[in-house]
Copies of this chain bind each other. A is one copy, B any other.
């Protein structure tokens, strides 16, 4: 469902292992790119430890502010997996073994294999829909505007593919990148003037090191309206050409 209103989102990454540096997060960048592509604006990310109160506080702050909150991590079979319980607490609902989730797990685990630890993964807050995935059978879930996903990237990605088509989306943010072939410090003032003249277009400047030319800059122009985007891009290109000419003239007179 596409709307003209902007649709916003936050990510809540849950896990001591990210904060200790032991595990390097790979989900934020993936979800960011995914949401941008479908027309959902990611507005904020938080990373919190496996501490119930921290999860509840962050989740309540985010879910009241954005259209969607995506959480990653903490839905496995061990004692430090407390996301489902924390989400239930944040929403003030009960949590229990969910027959639909139990059925899913029974497809892989039989008899003593479906032990207490694995049953922990079937605890789902009351009123939530399951988010299934084809990589592991243990589901995530969707309650209110909060989508709870696994931390393991392959599983998270499968869950995102599952919920993606069901999300409200806004007009897609269109984006064009222009390679400046100039240093960022050479175009800063002029780029600011272009940005002021195109208030509905977001213009960002990203320095990078070019193996041939040395310090270089990508200018990224973003807007929902294709005409406004094109006008801003043309203005950036025109400005860059002028700065290049000016600098080349300066070098000749040296």
Q: Which residues of A contact B (CB under 8 A)?
A: 13, 16-25, 28-36, 41-50, 54, 76-80, 109, 112-113, 115-118, 120-121, 152, 173, 175, 184-189, 191-192, 195-196, 202-207, 220, 222, 250
A19 and B46: CB pair below 8 A?
Answer: no
B16 and A204: CB pair below 8 A?
Answer: yes
With the chains together, A207 CA to B76 CA distance in Å?
9
Counted per complex, copies of this chain come to 2
B185 and A118: CB pair below 8 A?
Answer: yes
Given known contacts A76-B184, A118-B188, A185-B118, A21 and B36 CB-to-CB distance under 8 angstroms: yes
A44 and B43: CB pair below 8 A?
Answer: no
Cβ–Cβ < 8 Å partners of A16 in chain B: 202, 204
Name A78's contact: one of B33, B79, B191 (CB within 8 Å): B191
B79 and A188: CB pair below 8 A?
Answer: yes
A77 and B188: CB pair below 8 A?
Answer: yes
Closest chain B residue, CB of each to CB of A173: B20
Cβ–Cβ < 8 Å partners of A203 in chain B: 79-80
